């Protein structure tokens, strides 16, 4: 069965610092990749997704992610974080023929003002 690993469980940054959250998956076939964000007390919402084309995907709020097939990775980046980026971030993967995503455990990001 496929799995999704988010190696950073907790990340603490100061405002304006750069962010990179890791996501690795364990499937060698065609995949669709997603990053979701969950602000405190709210529901998960889509940040960005990749399913084909340019491996560098830009999402909302200045986030981007790069799909590196050879490394089975889809890391999330933001050059300069803000206090309002404090949230839980989830990576998710669907296989080419499946509609059911596998979610990672999530990374808790705290940004100090």
Which residues lie near other proteins (CB under 8 A)?
32, 34, 36, 42-46, 49, 51, 90, 94-101, 103-106
Q: With respect to other proteins, which residue has the nearer C-beta, 5 or 17?
A: 5
Least distance to other proteins from the beta carbon of 39, Å? 11
Look up residue 57 and give its two tokens.
């995907």
Token pair 């007390």: residue:
41
Least distance to other proteins from the beta carbon of 68, Å? 19
Q: With respect to other proteins, which residue has the nearer C-beta, 34 or 81?
A: 34
For residue 54, give Cα distances in angstroms to 59, 63, 67. Answer: 13, 15, 9
8 Å CB contact between 107 and 65: no
Smallest CA-to-CA distance from 104 within 19, 12, 32, 34 is with 34
Least distance to other proteins from the beta carbon of 26, Å? 17
Q: With respect to other proteins, which residue has the nearer C-beta, 16 or 46?
A: 46
């Amino acid at each position: 069965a496929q799995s999704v690993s988010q190696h950073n469980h907790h990340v603490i940054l100061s405002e304006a610092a750069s962010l990179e959250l890791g996501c690795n998956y364990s499937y060698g076939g065609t995949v669709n990749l997603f990053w979701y964000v969950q602000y405190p007390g709210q529901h998960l919402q889509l940040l960005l997704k990749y399913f084909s084309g340019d491996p560098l995907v830009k999402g909302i709020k200045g986030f981007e992610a790069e799909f590196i097939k050879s490394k089975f990775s889809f890391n999330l980046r933001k050059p300069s974080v803000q206090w309002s980026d404090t949230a839980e971030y989830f990576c998710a993967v669907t296989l080419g023929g499946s509609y059911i995503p596998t979610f990672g455990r999530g990374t808790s990001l705290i940004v100090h003002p």
